[in-house]
Amino acid sequence: MSETETTARRRPWRAVVAILAACALAFSGCGILPQLLSGSGGSAGPGPLPAEPGGTVEAYGAQQPNWGDCGNGMQCADVHAPLDWEDPAGARISLRLVKHPATGGDPMGTLFVNPGGPGASGAEYIANSIDFVIPETVQREYDVIGWDPRGVGASTPVRCFDAADMDDFLFGLGETGDLEVGSDEWIAAALDESRAFGAACEEGTGPLLGHVDTASTVRDLDMLRAIVGDSALNYLGFSYGTYIGARYADAFPERVGRLVLDGAMDPTTELADVVREQTRGFELALRAYTTDCLQRRGCPLSGTVDDAMASIGALLDRVDEEPLQGSDGRMLSAGTMLTAIITPLYAQSNWRYLDQLWETVAQGDADVALSLADFYYDRVDGRYLSNSTEAFSAINCLDYPGGLDPDRMREQAAELADIAPTIGRFQGYGDISCAAWPVQGVADRVGVTAAGADPILVVGTTGDPATPYRWAESLAQQLESGVLVTYVGEGHTAYGESDCVDRVVDAYLLTGAVPAEDPRCT
């Protein structure tokens, strides 16, 4: 048996699911402070739900939120939404909103914000991070609202595992650990684990599990627009949030106000396309990091960029062959190691966390790697502070319907290993994650046009690893009124990272002005 085959036998299937950005601002403002939402520390928290609306779309849009004090100048409220927008007279769920009132006192409207995911809390994003996200000039003119989409956070949530079971699911070596990756036996064992997770989600969540798709969230967002009394939607979406915004514009082009879509997704991409392009993107981002590292004093890597990439690959193989045990007893597998690598690559300012990662893992210490993975999974001291991982799976499995073709998966896995020699061999077989999901996918991966809509700003970063720049180009071309703004740089999303991009976006939000041509910001 070759070394490669030996290595492959250790890898659990959970190492190879697609990764989308859970937060637009990695390591800056994405932490969770539940007291801002729960009313502790003297804050009252959200008021009671409004009176139950009648069973019409219009009645839901006429709700009057009972805003409560949530601390730090924030107000929060819960509102009703129908479980199924095709049956507004049926069962209801609730959505959590957090509002930062316009500091100028006379708002020109409401700016809704979504940080991405799917599965990230927009309510906590605004409560904790508004000054990182929204400049003071825009805060003065808009009420800013972040909301938890259906299935997420403090809205009616997707529920699957307790903390112990989630630890085992994410960090355990699983039943596939002694099987060769891609074999029929490995795929069958992986499907069993996926099926058990889906069954737990169905039991813990109930009928909502079939109604957390993006199309339903788009209907929710139009309801929220009506609730605040705006005739048109003003919206800032990052990463997956751009998909919500693009689908909204296509569904309600006549209600498009000022939409900024930063770190754009291409609505036409299938799951295999997402995995391929993200794998390629993170491999390129890792090369950019190694290029930078090798020019710095104290870089733990050496030789050429190819040498450094090979040493990183060898470290992944070493962990794959012999997983490391952390001080808390959890195991560091190659899949968790890959999550630890990818997390700092979302923002160039976090690249130096990778220096610590190589040094500690090379010494047999798993704790830095586990702490980086914990950040990604929103885990602190053995507790999961949100349901982002569960919501991520539930939303994606509705938005990316598909079957299971083992031969096709094997071909795709070989392609990933070819286009990304360092990380690609750990990224295949993502179709397994939704193949045994207990509810059927509902979305069609079709393009958008938003015919007749006012100008929509699409922002793309040339070195974005999570939402590759070509997706921004594609989205801007699909939208009849799309205006592309390019940031020539590294990292995921550009608003708040580039003064040039900030000027363009701020001018658009405040005046509606768009550039006559792509400014190609640097």
The residue length of the chain stands at 522
- In degrees, to the nearest 5, what angle opens at C-alpha 302 toward C-alphas 296 and 303? 115
Residue of 464, 474, 481, 498 marked active site: 464
Chain centroid, CA 452 distance in Å: 29
The CA distance from 115 to 466, in Å, is 14
The CA distance from 117 to 521, in Å, is 26
Pairing of strands 456-463, 256-262: parallel
The CA distance from 81 to 61, in Å, is 9
The CA distance from 129 to 206, in Å, is 32
User: Among candidates 20, 14, 16, which has minimal Cα distance to 396?
Assistant: 20
Q: What is the DSSP letter of 156?
A: S
SS3 500: helix
H or E element at residue 75: strand 75-82
Q: Please give the structure tokens belonging to residue 373.
A: 């993975």
- Active site (annotated) includes residue 498: no
User: Among candidates 212, 235, 243, which has minimal Cα distance to 467?
Assistant: 243
User: Among candidates 226, 293, 279, 200, which has minimal Cα distance to 466?
Assistant: 279
Residue of 239, 333, 388, 433 marked active site: 239
Q: Please give the structure tokens belonging to residue 254.
A: 């006549």
SS3 80: strand
H or E element at residue 331: strand 331-332
Residue of 43, 386, 492, 498 marked active site: 492
Q: What is the DSSP letter of 62?
A: T
User: Among candidates 148, 149, 140, 142, which has minimal Cα distance to 235?
Assistant: 142
Q: Where do runs of H (alpha helix) occur along 269-405? A: 271-293, 305-321, 334-342, 352-362, 367-377, 388-399
Asked if 139 and 103 count as a contact pair (C-beta separation under 8 A), the reply is yes
Asked if 148 and 96 count as a contact pair (C-beta separation under 8 A), the reply is yes
- Active site (annotated) includes residue 239: yes
Rg (CA), the chain: 22
Instruction: Give the catalytic positions in this structure.
Output: 239, 464, 492
